[in-house]
Amino acid sequence: MTLAILLLHALTGMLFILAAGFVFVDTLNASAANLERIRTMSRLVAGLLWLTYFIGGYWYVVNYAPEKAFIMKGPWKFSHSFFMETKEHVFLALLLLGTLLPIIATNDLVTSKGARKLMLWVTTLLVLVGFGMDGAGAIISLGAKVALLPVAGG
Alpha-carbon separation of residue 48 from 42, 52, 78, 110, 132 (angstroms): 10, 6, 28, 25, 17
Pair 126, 45: CB distance under 8 Å = yes
Q: Walk along the chain (154 residues) and give the pLDDT tens digit of each residue.
A: 788 999 999 999 999 999 999 999 999 999 999 999 999 999 999 999 999 999 999 999 999 999 999 999 999 999 999 999 999 999 999 999 999 999 999 999 999 999 999 999 999 999 999 999 999 999 999 999 999 887 655 5
Q: How many residues does the chain have?
A: 154
Q: Helix H segments across 29-148?
A: 35-73, 78, 85-105, 113-148
Q: What residues contact 138, with CB distance under 8 A and at least 6 apart?
A: none
- The full set of domain ranges for the chain reads 2-148
